[in-house]
Amino acid sequence: MAAAKVSPLTPAPITAILMRRSQPPPTILGDEAMDRRRGGHLMSPASSPEERYSTMADELLRNHAVTRLSKETQSKKKFGKSDELRVDDRIFAKLVRGNLVVKIPRDRVDALVTSGDGERFDTGGGRVMKEWLKLNPGSSRDWLALATEAMGFVASKR
């Protein structure tokens, strides 16, 4: 299947984004398959969360529709004091106090919370976000796969 031609000046549709990857897009059903597919994107859990996030962000930033806002970047639309990844100017992943936080469908959040891989993200004021997952530091889930899933979810809501 040939990849769709995308002009560098227009945001790529999510299908074109995912087609450029050497592996199929993650599904919300195949957790074990997602973990087995890590291949060349395996990041050591022994590395710091900041290093893991930076490696993941560098991979995602290959897509021109993805932008990164960090502590050094000024933005009025910033969500807290985190390092954020956005697609079409909407946040899909961020690093908060050393934890990966991703925006994924509510039923997917429920499944990962039930499996013990994460918890619903709390903004700090007792407000629990139903479509945001804070991945547990000890989880073996692949950060890149979860962030790619989050990017697809956020891009599809437009």
Condensed to tens digits (0 to 9), the pLDDT of residues 36-55 reads 444 434 445 558 999 999 99
| Res. 18: pLDDT tops 50 | no
| Closest listed residue to residue 130, CA positions, set 116, 149, 113 | 113
| Res. 80: pLDDT tops 80 | no
Q: How far apart are CA 36 and CA 32, in angstroms?
A: 6
> Which region, left, alpha or beta, applies to residue 124 given φ > 0 means left and ψ of -120 to 50 means alpha?
left
The reported pLDDT for the residue numbered 127 is 86
Q: How far apart are CA 42 and CA 24, in angstroms?
A: 16
The reported pLDDT for the residue numbered 30 is 46
Q: CA 10 → CA 5, 13, 64, 88, distances in Å?
A: 11, 9, 9, 10
| Closest listed residue to residue 95, CA positions, set 62, 134, 152 | 134
* Average pLDDT of the residues of the chain: 76
| Closest listed residue to residue 95, CA positions, set 127, 67, 128, 135 | 135
- pLDDT band for position 73 (cuts 50, 70, 90): low
pLDDT average, residue stretch 53-66? 93
CATH match of 14-156 with 3.30.1460.30: yes
Condensed to tens digits (0 to 9), the pLDDT of residues 98-131 reads 999 999 999 999 999 999 999 999 988 888 899 9
